[in-house]
Chain A
Amino acid sequence: MRWFFSGDSGSDGAYRHMKKTKGKLTLTVFILIVLTDIIESFAELFWKKGTLATGIDNVTVANSAEFMSRLLTGSGFLTGLSLYVVNFFLWVTVLSRVDLSVAFPTGSTSYIIVALLSMIFLGEHISLYRWSGIICIIVGIYFISKSANAEGPAA
């Protein structure tokens, strides 16, 4: 992975190490970004479950109060919310280390993970379109990481 990510380990003190790697897409930062995207998918899933559990599929002005009270007390919503709180702290940690224009596109790794997981666990077929999309995303992340690691500490 060394050719892809900039150096991630070192015997220096943690602070000097951080100065040295600030702005760079290290393997640690990369893993944190992927993790936030996986957690976000789960949080969205729980919220979707939460809205379905209200039993109201067409929210109008008249039933919106009932919808919100059922939703906010449901377990799906609360589980999703706690995942979002965890994600917030992971994400600001990422943002304190790299540019937004690096961190955000790198999150597209989740599209690859979702595709591969649905192939392995759900036996879903991955079409030629999807394989070429996966390759495009990998090429894109390669360029993003190159741009982050080439120019030294970012502003």
Chain B
Amino acid sequence: MTLKVFILVLIAEACSAGTHILFKHGVNTLEPGSMRSMRGYLRFVGSVLTNLSVWAGLLVVACGMAVWLLVLAHAELSLAFPLDSIQYIFILLASSLLLKERINRDRIAGTFFIIVGIVLVSLK
């Protein structure tokens, strides 16, 4: 992996995390979506599609995908694996600091186990 590809992967990962945060920020103002009734779900879809944060998230994900396509064209994806686990720490911090989610000990422990698990699974 060249430095150029490494930086591209980092940018793509940052876009991905930013998108999740913007989506969650937007959806937090809405009633939860339920798939039990068609009409109720369509109302949910409507409120999602008129939400500014959600559109900001879509813009960021579009940038991220463009960068990701360039990465894919350069191949050698197996080395991008460890960077995926950085994403879990980033999301945990952003959930607490930006989205004010209540992070307790179990959630930190769970995230830690998952990161270790992913690293182990990606070892051959």
Contact = CB atoms under 8 A, between A and B. Distances in A.
Contacts of B59: none
A51 B65 CA distance: 13
A1 interface: no
Given A105-B88, A147-B106, A93 B113 contact: no
A49 B23 CA distance: 28
A155 interface: yes
A96 B124 contact: no
B19 to A, nearest CB: 10
A4 interface: no
For B69, B118, B121, B123, which residue has the most chain A Cβ atoms within 10 angstroms? B121
Interface of B is mostly: helix
A134 B88 CA distance: 17
Q: How large is the interface on B (under 10, 10 to 19, 20 to 34, 35 or more residues)?
A: 35 or more
Contact of B109 (A58, A92, A93, A143): A143
Interface of A: 14-15, 17-18, 22, 47-48, 51, 56-59, 67, 71, 88-89, 91-93, 95-97, 99-102, 104-105, 108, 111-112, 115, 127, 129-130, 132-148, 150-151, 154-155
Interface of B: 20-21, 23-24, 27, 30-37, 40, 44-45, 48, 54, 58, 68-70, 72-75, 87-88, 91-92, 94-96, 99-107, 109-124
